[in-house]
Chains A and B, each alone.
Chain A
Amino acid sequence: MTAPAAPSPPAQATLRRALGQFPIVTTSTGLAFAALEYLAAAGLVTYVAGDSAWIPIGVAGLLALMAYGFFGELNGMFPTAAAIRIYMQRAMDDRIALTITFTYMSTIVLVIASDAFIVGTALARAFGEPPWVSSLWIIGLLGISVTTNLRGVTVAGLLQDLATTIVVLATLVISALALLHSGHALHNPIQPLHGHSAADLVEAIALGVFLYSAFEWVTTSAEEVRRPESIHRGMLMSIGILCVVCALATVAMSHTLTHHELSSAYPQLYLGVAAIGHSGMWVMAGVTAVTALNTFNGGFITASRFIYGTAREGSLPRQLARLNDRAVPWVPVVVLGGASLLVALAVALSHTWEVLVAVGAALETMIYAVAAFCALRLRSRQPDTPRPFRVRLLPVLGPVGVVVFAMLAAIASVSVNNHFNPAPLIIIGIGAALSAFYVLRILPGVRAKEEARRAATPRRRPVR
């Protein structure tokens, strides 16, 4: 081995292919703006009076800003794709951290499944096919997604930017046109409680938080950015964009759609019709399909790589770290695809997408509460760790965040379509129980086996 002398190294090397600000904004917005957004927005309308849905969305936006602060501080401390694992491990007992992480990761399966269901249903509707055909679309969409992932094909950055831009602009334009074409004034735009209770408004806010959810997943791109602050700025811009688009889309839906249309599995198609007639349905069917591009790409990559990393770390069975010849962790991809397919088909058969929305809302608000706790706890446990982004008044905002998000999670988990329904809580409870069972009963065995395997492998490094 030769080790030739080199010219003096640059003080700070920059990546050849680093991400700038725009891709971070589109990634954050694209991950949050899944097809499920339309159903959650339509569902939110039923909780408040008239056209006042923008109010809970605005309040939820303020709460999302608080969550942005917590994630911003944590991401600044640990600018890595494995950040969630690191900060939770350092803020709490590792068994609790792993249980929460595994439960939270199920959100990704829910989002992929719901997008497959919504896109499948919307396409079946647009083509005038009977409802059962949506199941074929779901199988086809997930099949294509799993296959392309296994072949190592990912959506190129430019295509992802374009997809998000199309979705956001089309939703804005269609919503604005629907409002303009309605020809009548807004009803109760500033009276959300007219004929509704305060509890309804709180539930609407919980659903509103869900409209912003996943904006924080962009923190997994922290290792790819040209400037670290791009992540913080990107999340902030994304919250602003989501606030405007969701508020406008929701008001347009409440103003132009009937109760039957709002409670359907494709309210966005009706919104398109209200805006520009029959062709609007095709526009929104196309936009719905485009949302899946970001969700499937981001969801499969983020979740499968996280599962792979956790398996390599020794916290999941080694089989989940198997790679194919394209260096893709094929077992996690297949497991995610299979789980998503089962959930999507179950939802298609049972027509219970509102339950899916509630589960997603509860899990997301739960993780926001956990982020608040971690940011607060690490202030005392790791006071000297550099914090490029520091939340002001964290001693006040931290506990407020924990309480508010935990309360919203509790409310969202027992409320479906403005009715008491414990189904989301039961689903989350089962997921958490399975995660806890794995962490407490199975994981010690997995780790012991891994330790034994390593102990049996002699060290190769020469002793000097």
Chain B
Amino acid sequence: MASIEEICEAFADWRTRSNDNPRLSKMVKGWDRVIHFTASDMGQGFTMLVKDQLLSELVVGYHDQPDVIVTGSSEDFCDMFWGDLNPSEKYMSGEIKLAGSQQDVMRIDAISMVAFLDQ
């Protein structure tokens, strides 16, 4: 099980890569959302905002009403934020669960893909 600090560190890297990616900025244009991450093995929640084409810092705990809820293990979140894990694979096998509209879910996956993978 990863620690809160590890998740926050991994997220910080993800955030920098995402916010520095001009293509990704285009993809999240006009897409202001509140995203909750729930690390089921830790029983811990996190909140991320996407506002004005930028990802916010990761806040420990749930804040605001979410547009999307992502539920997975703390290890999976860490690996995903570092870009070592393809979240779609975990999603298609049922290990990562999502709640939210299909369009919102697509954007989350787009962020994870475009931030790390060559298209």
Q: Which of A5, A17, A310, A314 contacts B67 (CB 8 A)?
A: A17
Bound state CA distance, A322 and B109, in angstroms? 12
Q: Which of A2, A3, A325 has the most CB of B within 10 A?
A: A3
Would you call B54 an interface residue if the criterion is a C-beta within 8 Å of the partner chain's C-beta atoms? no
Q: Is the CB of A15 within 8 A of B92?
A: no
Interface string of A1-20 (1 = CB under 8 A from B): 11111111110011111000
Complex interface bits, B10-33 against A, C-beta within 8 A gives 1, otherwise 0: 111100000000010011100000
Using Cβ atoms and an 8 Å threshold, which residues of chain A touch B93?
86, 89, 313
Contacting A at CB under 8 A, from B54-105, are 57-63, 65-69, 78-79, 82-84, 86, 88-89, 91-94, 97-103, 105
CB-CB nearest in chain A for B27: A327
Q: For B101, list chain A residues within 8 Å (CB).
A: 17, 223-224
Verify if B49 is at the interface (C-beta below 8 Å from A): no
Min CB distance B57 to A, Å, is: 6
Evaluate whether A325 and B60 lie within 8 angstroms (CB atoms) in the complex, with A15-B66, A223-B99, A460-B83 already known: no
**Contact present for B23 and A16 (CB under 8 Å):** no
List, in ascending order, chain A residues with CB within 8 A of B94's CB.
78, 80, 82, 86
Count of chain B residues with a beta carbon within 8 Å of a chain A beta carbon:
56
Whether B114 pairs with A323 at a CB distance below 8 angstroms is yes
Residue B51 CB within 8 A of the other chain: no
CB contacts (< 8 Å) of A223 on chain B: these are: 98-102, 105
A312 at the interface (CB under 8 A from B): yes
Q: Is A142 an interface residue (CB 8 A)?
A: no
With A13-B62, A309-B91 known as contacts, the answer to whether A3 contacts B5 (CB < 8 A) is yes
The 8 Å CB contact of A313, one of B13, B62, B92, B97, is B92
16 A-B pairs, CB-CB below 8 angstroms?
A3-B60, A5-B60, A6-B47, A9-B62, A13-B45, A13-B69, A15-B69, A223-B101, A309-B88, A313-B86, A313-B88, A314-B86, A323-B27, A323-B119, A329-B106, A464-B6
Q: Which residues of A contact B (CB under 8 A)?
A: 1-10, 13-17, 78, 80-82, 85-86, 89, 152, 154, 220-221, 223-224, 301, 305, 308-310, 312-314, 321-323, 325-329, 459-461, 464
